[in-house]
Amino acid sequence: MTSRRKFITILGGGIIVAAGGVGTWAATRDPARAREPWEAAKMLEAGTSGDPRIFALSHAILAPNPHNRQPWIAELSTPGEITLYFDTTRRLPETDPFDRQLTIGLGCFVELLVMAAAETGHRADVSLFPDGAPQPLLDERPVARIRLVADETTPRDPLFAQVFLRHTNREAYDTARPVSAQTLDGIAASVRSARMDHATGAEEVAALRTLTWDAMEIELRTYRTMKESVDLMRIGKAEIEAYPDGIGLGGPLNEGLELLGLMDRQAMLDPDSMVFREGMKAQKVQFDTAMGFLWLATPGNARADQIAAGRDYVRMHLAVTEAGLSLQPFSQALQEYEEMAGTYADMRSALGIGENETLQMLVRLGYGPEIKASPRWPLETRIRTA
């Protein structure tokens, strides 16, 4: 293991400078094995993988989802059918106390599955919550039964071409490049059920930067919500490849900071620590470089509404990718826990959310740098065996 003396840290700027042999070490820190499910899906040719369910599922597991929990389990015991379940071990009880966000993630999974099935000439007939829609939490009942029916008239979705390019981009965006309202108006056509709206004006964007950062500060300074995130952090190549879910903090910079003791999990939870303060600075860059905002609202908040919001969200994200833009969810102000209640109400007011509507997703937009895909568990780990 590389010695701490091999690193020079400039705390104010959060910069690590490699010395000696560290450059060689740094070149080996990419957790490429955790991205293998993306490569496996790319290698599949529609109609040649035997069971079309495998093609569909290989793409569905690439869906965006909160904290990268990947909360899906598929059962294939009935030929031609996929029964989708929620993995109850993957809850976010502090920041998602009613499983709303996780249900949206399952909706993203369903939409990519339907799109992928169409690529093989199959119509996906989706029956949601066939044994009832569980409240207030998801349970072990099926989320959906999906029957794949051979049907060459099933239209292929042009957004499918963006599946391998769609990534959540948490880097700083280019503040010299404005986001066009006209471009976002065009993206609205990708949404089928939810109401999509956007903000690109300088004053609107500045106000939303402030409000979304206020919400993030609440989450970071509330011990139990911050601890939920810290407990899901995977720091460095070894952790990410062993547990390809949660919040991946990979690369030589993060591993170097850990060697220096600057990624100490207990210190991350202490608002008085230098580690906490530097983490706040690093995250605020995301908010300060938001160049536009998009949001989705549904007329209700039943489980079916949440699934529909997820299906629309991944379609919107694919359309954003097609337009050359980057996107990152800012979900903090939408979360339903006590400490967030005031900011939650302020955000609804700022975005003009109707009395009976539910604000399901809010994202920042901009032009970001090219990034790599996020880690995924291999498909075989997400299929239930008898």
pLDDT of residue 48: 66
Asked whether the predicted pLDDT for residue 212 surpasses 60, the reply is yes
Question: pTM for this one?
Answer: 0.93
Asked if residue 196 lies in contact with residue 187, where contact means CB atoms within 8 angstroms, the answer is: yes
pLDDT at 12 > cutoff 70: no
Please report which confidence band the pLDDT of residue 17 belongs to, taking 50, 70 and 90 as the band edges: very low
**Interval 136-150: pLDDT, tens:** 999 999 999 999 999
Q: What pLDDT band is residue 261 in, cutting at 50, 70 and 90?
A: confident
pLDDT of residue 46: 77
In this predicted structure, the answer to whether residue 22 has a pLDDT above a threshold of 70 is no
90/85 Cα distance (integer angstroms): 12
pLDDT at residue 386, rounded to an integer = 53
Q: How far is CA 120 from the centre of its chain?
A: 26
Per-residue pLDDT, averaged over 64-88, amounts to 97
Positive or negative torsion for Cα 113, 114, 115, 117: positive
Rounded average pLDDT over 159-177: 98
- 13: CB partners within 8 A, 6+ apart: none
- pLDDT reading at 304 higher than 60: yes
CA distance linking residue 156 with residue 279, whole number of Å? 43
d(CA 161, CA 73): 25
Higher pLDDT, 29 or 3: 29
For the residues 38-65, what does the mean pLDDT come to? 91
Q: What is the pLDDT of residue 367?
A: 98
Predicted pLDDT of residue 11: 35
For position 47, what pLDDT does the model report?
A: 64
Q: What integer is the mean pLDDT of 269-298? A: 96
> Taking all residues of the chain, what is their mean pLDDT, rounded to a whole number?
92
Helices (H), the chain: 22-26, 36-43, 52-60, 100-119, 181-187, 202-221, 223-231, 236-242, 252-259, 265-268, 274-288, 303-322, 341-351
Q: Give the per-residue pLDDT at 194.
A: 97
Q: Which fold has domain 33-161+373-384?
A: NADH Oxidase (3.40.109)
Task: Give the percent of the chain with pLDDT over 90.
Answer: 86
Which fold would CATH assign to domain 181-366?
Answer: NADH Oxidase (3.40.109)
Residues of the chain with CATH 3.40.109.30: 33-161+373-384
Q: How confident is the model at residue 15 (pLDDT cuts 50, 70, 90)?
A: very low
- What pLDDT, on the 0 to 100 scale, is given for residue 112? 98
Between 254 and 33, name the one with better pLDDT: 33
Q: Are 232 and 93 in contact (CB under 8 A)?
A: no
Confidence band of 1 (pLDDT split at 50, 70, 90): very low
Query: Tokens 């106000």 — which residue?
Result: 207
What 3-state DSSP class applies to 374? coil
Give the pLDDT confidence of 87-121 residue by residue, as tens digits: 999 999 999 999 999 999 999 999 999 999 999 99
Confidence of residue 254 (pLDDT cuts 50, 70, 90): confident
* 329 or 263, greater pLDDT: 329
Token pair 């999509």 is found at 196
Q: What is the pLDDT of residue 4?
A: 33
Mean pLDDT of 360-386: 95
pLDDT higher than 60, residue 171: yes
Crossing angle of helices 202-221 and 223-231, in 10° steps, is: 90
**pLDDT tens across 343-352, in order?**
999 999 999 9
What are 158-167's pLDDT values in tens digits?
999 999 999 9
Mean pLDDT of 66-71: 98
Q: Can you tell me the mean pLDDT for 281-291?
A: 97
